[in-house]
Amino acid sequence: MAQIPLDILKNTNRPTLGDSINTVLFRIIRFADLEKYLGDGANAVLYASGKKFGESLDLKSVDDVIEFCKDNKIGIVEIVNENPLQVRVYECITCSGLPKMGKTLCHFEGGFIAGCLENIFGKKVQVKETHCAGLGHEYCQFDVKILG
């Protein structure tokens, strides 16, 4: 099946219920048995999907990304270091409150940050999660590598 374009997905036609959903429902879908079917490739699919979404928004500044993430309840984003660039996310939609599992969980968010920043910087970037509830941290943190 062809992928459904984002502008089609955005048409929710929910005049009474609106666009918001419960975080738990989001997580049930997010943590569906992707790994069972895709193995390690699942993380790459989530990253690519987040990246595409980030690119599609065409946000113009890091402040726009911070605002978008807050408005859409993805998380509270903070720049903790500029060079090298490190982005921290509190109250992450995917992992906040989850127990330590010995691995990072927020591949979608990493891709999302990458997609947004590639547009803003006009350069390829690689984003890697270094801190996560899945690793026992209180927040997520991502290293951003600007590839030029």
Residue 87 to residue 133: CA distance in whole angstroms: 15
Residue 95 in the binding site for Zn ion (CB under 5 A): yes
59 counts as binding Zn ion under rule CB under 5 A: no
| In the complex, least distance from residue 36 CB atom to Zn ion, rounded to whole angstroms | 21
The reply on whether position 106 binds Zn ion by CB under 5 A is: yes
Residue 109 phi, psi (nearest 5) = -65, -40
Q: Cβ atoms within 10 A of the Cβ of 53, count?
A: 16
Closest separation in Å from C-beta 108 to Zn ion = 10
Q: Shortest gap between Cβ of 25 and Zn ion (angstroms)?
A: 18
From 140, 141, 142, 144, residue interacting with Zn ion (rule: CB under 5 A): 140
Amino acid (1-letter code) at residue 61: S
| β strands within the chain, DSSP E | 76-82, 85-90, 125-131, 140-146
Residues contributing to the site for Zn ion (CB under 5 A) = 92, 95, 105-106, 132, 140
